[in-house]
Chain A
Amino acid sequence: MTASAVIIEVDGLSKRFGKIEAVKGVTFGVQPGEIFGFLGPNGAGKTTTINMLCTLLTPSAGSARVNGFDVVHQRSEVRRSIGLVFQQTTLDEYLSADQNLRFHAYAYAIPAELRERRMTELMEMVDLADRRSGSVRTYSGGMKRRLEIARGLLHHPRVLFLDEPTLGLDPQTRRHIWDYLLRLREQEGLTIFLTTHYMDEAEFSDRIAVIDHGRIVGLGTPDGLKRDVGGDLLTVRTPDAPAAAAEIRERYAAEVSVRDDMVSFSVANGEEFLPDFVKRFGHPMQSIAVRRPTLDDVFLHLTGREIRDAELDPQAQMLQGMARRFHG
């Protein structure tokens, strides 16, 4: 990859807080127009890395360039090149939407005639055109997020950083926001750097980097990463999970993981493997499932944790509980 082909170039980037090394020399590149997913368990170093890329933290070692500018020595140029949408809102709730946007426009020195045109255009895009003079206090969570996205794009950034952009929003709003984002990429050739806990969102990424304990543990396209996990994933539910795991390990020389009463392992061709497996399985079996690997499996495989471990939303938990009861 040549230097001109990447818009974010990270080389051996590290950050140390006292004795703790939060990011331990990460290296990767992001191509222009790409949606780059940056995944990892909580505390893996995601936010620290983002903060270094957007000049809020100074790296302890290594270097990073965004849009060709060094994040340490050319901070202003980097700041002009990026737009940010953080997990927590950074709007001034006591101002109106327009006042928030205008503050941003002044701060980035956007010329007046361009400013008003761009504001109108963006507020129409995020469906807030009729609420422009309303105080942000009266906005719902989804509206605030949409306003933040509009604001983040006001100065025509080359890269948009989205740190958990839809956390805590309902599924419908999340879908809307993704409609805007995908359209933006089409229209403006925007590069999107994304962190998320939602696997369906991570699927929008062209490429994904997985970070764990401050190191990049996986990097590739979603399909590529799934392929790396190995063939199909077989999951057996049995009351005698440890013994079943030992048996499978011995008979098929497979790498087996146990979670509660579930035993999982991967095989090259699940459907053809199944009949013989069931015939020879020497333990009571409650259920069996074969499926292609998902990003969840990729995540589990690379980090040893499920992506949603930290942040399973109550609604999904409730649905799971209902399904369990319903199916008995």
Chain B
Amino acid sequence: MSEIWRGAWVVAYRELLRFVNERSRLVGSLAQPLIFLVIFGAGFGNVIGALAPGVDFIQFMYPGIIAMGVLTTALFAGVSVVWDREFGFLREMLVAPLGRTGIVLGKAIGACVIGLVQVLLMLLITPLVNVSIDIGLVVRLIPVVFVLSIALSGLGILIASFMRSQQGFQLLIQLLIFPLIFLAGVFFPVNQAPDWLQVLSKVNPLTYGVDAIRQIFLGPSAPLGVSVFDHVMTIGEEVALMAGLGAVLLAAAAWAFSRQE
């Protein structure tokens, strides 16, 4: 057991060291969501108008963009597994007295902490998008981001366990990332979409992550929320769903990783 915990913290520590060493990664990971926010916000903001009383398009989109940032960073946990395999460092971890499960946990925790740092930085621009925050909101936001992040990094590592080449992995992630983001209700209220799109969005687990974060910023609101079989999902239900999914994905990732290596 101690080997799993040591594995988790040592691997997470190295992920963070690398993140600090490579400042360009921080800039890069913040740039993408910001570009979406600025361009989509400016482009659609005046056309679309208020989506609900007191909620304009940018205010609606902003929480979704935060979830999108978390997604990209979390899937990076998988990228780093493939990298480590290609550049040899994985062997250094595998021959050390560390549990395989610990290595997977460490990758996930590393991605999670990096994701949190990014989210906190994204909060700095709330005045520009007319979103008000207070300390209570930040406190509620952190565990939700944490759960979402763990679930998605589990997915990334699970895929990485089966991929031998960097190119193959990148391709698969690209194929996965766009449908996940576009169907997750980042850019439109799911409940108001056409039926076929609603179905696709509601089977996409990321939808509930986006909605949970949105509820923290905008409060529960039926027209902007997500309802399943006429039941409007509460934040608690959504977080529980993410946590359950995360546990399954992470367990599967740990299993696949131990089996492969």
A binds B: yes
A residues at B contact (CB < 8 Å): 54-56, 75-76, 79-80, 82, 84, 86, 88-95, 99, 103-104, 106-109, 135
The residues of B that contact A89 with a CB separation of less than 8 Å are: 88
Q: What's the least CB distance linking A141 to chain B, in Å?
A: 14
A94–B22 CB distance below 8 A = yes
Q: Which residue of A lies closest to B94 (CB)?
A: A56
Given known A92-B14, A94-B22, A103-B14, contact A76–B88 (CB-CB < 8 A): no
Given A55-B95, A56-B94, A79-B96, CB of A107 within 8 Å of CB of B87: no
- Residues 82-141 of B at the A interface (beta carbon under 8 Å): 87-98
Question: Out of A56, A90, A99, A107, which one reaches B98, CB within 8 Å?
Answer: A107
Known: A103-B13, A109-B6. A91 touches B89 (CB 8 A): yes
Whether B21 contacts A80 by the Cβ 8 Å rule is no
CB atoms of B95 and A94 under 8 A apart: no
Pick from B10, B17, B92 the residue with the most CB of A within 10 Å.
Answer: B92
Q: Is B237 an interface residue (CB 8 A)?
A: no
Chain A nearest CB from B94 CB (Å) reads 6
Chain A nearest CB from B51 CB (Å) reads: 43
B residues in contact with A94, CB < 8 Å:
18, 21-22
A80: chain B residues at CB < 8 Å are: 97
The contact string, 1 if C-beta is below 8 Å from chain A, for chain B 1-17, is 00100110110011001
Asked if A107 meets B6 with Cβ closer than 8 Å, knowing A79-B97, A86-B91, A90-B88, the reply is yes
Using A86-B88, A93-B87 as known contacts, say yes or no to A107 and B96 having CB atoms under 8 A apart: yes
Mind listing 9 A-B residue pairs with CB under 8 Å? Answer: A79-B96, A88-B88, A91-B88, A93-B87, A95-B18, A95-B21, A104-B92, A107-B7, A107-B96
User: What residues of chain A lie closer than 8 Å to B14, measured between beta carbons?
Assistant: 92, 95, 103
Contact A107-B88, Cβ < 8 Å, known A92-B14, A94-B22, A95-B17: no
Contact A99 B17 (CB under 8 A): yes
Is A76 touching B3 in the complex (CB atoms < 8 A)? yes
C-alpha spacing A183/B18, complex, angstroms: 34
What chain A residues lie within 8 Å of B6 (beta carbons)? 106-107, 109
Shortest Cβ distance from A108 into chain B, in angstroms? 6
> Known interface pairs A92-B14, A99-B17. Does A108 touch B96 (Cβ–Cβ under 8 Å)?
yes
Q: A91-B88, A95-B17, A103-B13 are in contact. List 9 more A-B contacts (CB 8 A).
A: A79-B95, A90-B89, A91-B92, A92-B18, A93-B87, A106-B9, A107-B96, A108-B96, A109-B97
Secondary structure at the B interface, as helix, strand, loop or mixed, is helix
Residues of chain A lying within 8 A (CB to CB) of residue B21: 94-95, 135
With the chains together, A92 CA to B9 CA distance in Å?
17
Instruction: Give the distance to chain A from B10, nearest Cβ to Cβ, in Å.
Output: 5
Cα(A84)–Cα(B14), bound, Å = 20
Residues of A within 8 A of B98 (CB): 107
Q: Indicate if the CB atoms of B10 and A103 lie closer than 8 Å.
A: yes
Tally B residues with Cβ within 8 Å of A.
23
B93 — nearest CB in chain A belongs to which residue? Answer: A107
Q: How far is B123's CA from A8's CA once the two chains are assembled, in angstroms?
A: 58
Cβ < 8 Å to A, chain B residues 143-172: none
Q: Are B18 and A107 in contact (CB under 8 A)?
A: no
B residues near A79, Cβ cutoff 8 Å? 95-97
User: Which of chain A's residues has its CB closest to B7's CB?
Assistant: A107
Contacts of A84 in B (CB 8 A): 91, 95
Contact flag A107-B97 (CB < 8 Å), given A94-B18, A94-B22, A95-B17 = yes
Contacts of B96 in A (CB 8 A): 79, 104, 107-108
Question: Which residues on the A side are within 8 Å of B88 (C-beta)?
Answer: 86, 88-91
Nearest A residue (CB) for B261: A56
**Which A residues are CB-close (under 8 A) to B18?**
92, 94-95
Give complex CA distance A56, B9 in Å: 22
Q: How far is the CA of A92 from the CA of B93 in the complex (A)?
A: 11
The complex places the Cα of A103 from the Cα of B10 at a distance, in Å, of: 7
Q: Which residues of B contact A99 (CB under 8 A)?
A: 17
Q: How far is the CA of A135 from the CA of B3 in the complex (A)?
A: 28
Report chain A residues within 8 Å CB of B17.
Answer: 95, 99
List CB contacts (< 8 Å) of B1-50 with chain A. 3, 6-7, 9-10, 13-14, 17-18, 21-22
Closest-by-CB residue of A relative to B2 is: A109
Instruction: Determine the distance from Cα of A184 to Cα of B7 in the docked complex, in whole angstroms.
Output: 29
**Taking the nearest CB of chain B, how far is it from the CB of A96, in angstroms?**
8
Residue on B with the closest CB to A135? B21
A81–chain B nearest beta-carbon distance, Å: 10
Complex-state Cα separation, A84 to B89, whole angstroms: 12
Which residues from chain B contact A107 at a C-beta distance below 8 Å?
A: 6-7, 10, 93, 96-98
Docked complex Cα distance between A99 and B9 (Å):
15
| Chain B contacts for A109, CB-based, 8 A | 6, 97
Alpha-carbon distance A135/B94, docked complex (angstroms)? 23
Distance A109 CA – B97 CA, assembled complex (angstroms): 9
Most central of B7, B21, B22 by chain A CB within 10 Å? B21
